[in-house]
Amino acid sequence: MTVRSGVRTDIGRARARNEDAYLVRDPLFAVADGMGGHRGGNVASKVALETIRAFDAGGTDGDSASELVKDIRTANQTVLARGEADRDLRGMGTTITALLLQGEHATIAHVGDSRAYRLRDGGLEQLTQDHTLVHQLVEEGRITADQAGRHPQRSILTRAVGVEPSVDVDASTIELRLGDRLLLCTDGLTGMLSDDAIREVLASEEDPQRASDRLVEAANAAGGDDNITVVVIDVLEASPAPETAKPAGTGTMAPPAVSTPAEVRQPRRWRRAAILTAAIVVALLVAGWVGVHAYANGQWYVATSNGRVAIYHGIPARVLGVHLSHVAATTDLSAAAAEQLEPWAGIHDGITATSFGRAQAIVDQIRADLAAASVAGG
Ligand code: MG
């Protein structure tokens, strides 16, 4: 399948940060809408898409729907683990809506309220069901679809990636036709524009990039209450199905060779092994970091700060660019004068102590030695 795509993400007009992310890497396309305090939302959406990007390249073999679902479950684990490892990121999560092209079909998998639509013959069809509280209320007949669109709690999700140890992923496979236009978008678009307004732009703008730009501009013109991300994918022509594909190397004008399952699985296995290794290395680094940090918290040393002798809490080192110590107390003793005395010549490198009291004792000794030296020197 040959496609042409456009993409645009925008902070909108009301938010301080853009926590949306997108992935455009034919045959895989995705949008993600992150949430969580501080930088959490931003991290969640990016980590999730990096995870599915790493897993799915070349993965058009076998059952693509279950592969994509598996990848989103892996993203769920990855985001959850990152959130648990970093207090600033705790509680973060993200939506994912991903689309994988495969021959004349596309698999769509999603969690949350970012949507996929298809424009065909001028009509717009929503391909995903929002995992939101209000959608559930509509399903139960308790509110109307119209009320849902204006509901104050319309952004409350019933499912998200990275929040619970496991996640239900909705997946479906659709047939593609020449001329189909697919849209992936975050709720910053659908919260601002009706399906009809979206349809109007998609049906009237031929170029997918300009259509993406116009959708974002329209959402901003309607208020831009949230971050807005859109991916527009146009199906230009059908490619041969895998079984009719010629072996690689025959015919220079052939589309990129379709790998046989054996060819695909090999690099995928290798990739998974590489990712597992990387995950173990990261875990060891994190464990090492936590250990070093705990050790540093129990250590003190005497060194110099702004030309004075000072007591530091921690160890005189930097790990990953982060200082493992801070000045706990400064003194009125001249660092230069102390360095003149033989026992304290190396004081700028730090003299370690196992407690603040011992560090103070070192300072007292320096003070006594300086006093003695000044008496001796007249
Ligand atoms: Mg949003």
Could you tell me the residue ranges of all domains in the chain? 2-250, 273-376
Q: Do 55 and 271 contact (CB within 8 A), yes or no? A: yes
Cα–Cα distance, 313 to 356 (Å, whole number): 8
Q: What is the mean pLDDT of residues 209-229?
A: 97
Tell me, in angstroms, the distance from the centre of ligand 1 to residue 187's CA: 5
Q: Which tens digit of pLDDT belongs to each residue from 281-339?
A: 777 777 776 666 666 777 788 899 889 999 888 877 665 566 777 888 888 899 999 98
Burial of 51 (C-beta count, 10 Å sphere; 0-12/13-18/19+): buried
And the tokens for 168? 């239900």
From residue 367, how far is each of 177, 306, 333, 338, 348 by CA, in Å?
85, 17, 7, 9, 16
Tell me, in angstroms, the distance from the centre of ligand 1 to residue 66's CA: 26
- Residue 307: CB atoms within 10 A of its CB come to 11
Tell me, in angstroms, the distance from the centre of ligand 1 to residue 11's CA: 10
Tell me, in angstroms, the distance from the centre of ligand 1 to residue 188's CA: 5
Q: Do 175 and 128 contact (CB within 8 A), yes or no? A: no
The CATH H-level (homologous superfamily) assignment of domain 2-250 is PPM-type phosphatase domain (3.60.40.10)
From residue 70, how far is each of 21, 52, 66, 76, 374 by CA, in Å?
20, 9, 6, 10, 74
How confident is the model at residue 60, as a pLDDT?
Answer: 52
Does pTM top 0.85 for this prediction?
A: no
Tell me, in angstroms, the distance from the centre of ligand 1 to residue 37's CA: 14
Q: Number of helices (H) and strands (E) in the chain: give both, helices first.
A: 10, 15
Percentage of the residues of the chain whose pLDDT score is greater than 90: 52
And the tokens for 363? 């300072």
- What is the DSSP pairing of strand 93-94 with strand 28-35? antiparallel
Tell me, in angstroms, the distance from the centre of ligand 1 to residue 103's CA: 31
Identify the band that residue 115 occupies on the pLDDT scale cut at 50, 70 and 90.
very high
And the tokens for 294? 């705990």
Tell me, in angstroms, the distance from the centre of ligand 1 to residue 227's CA: 6
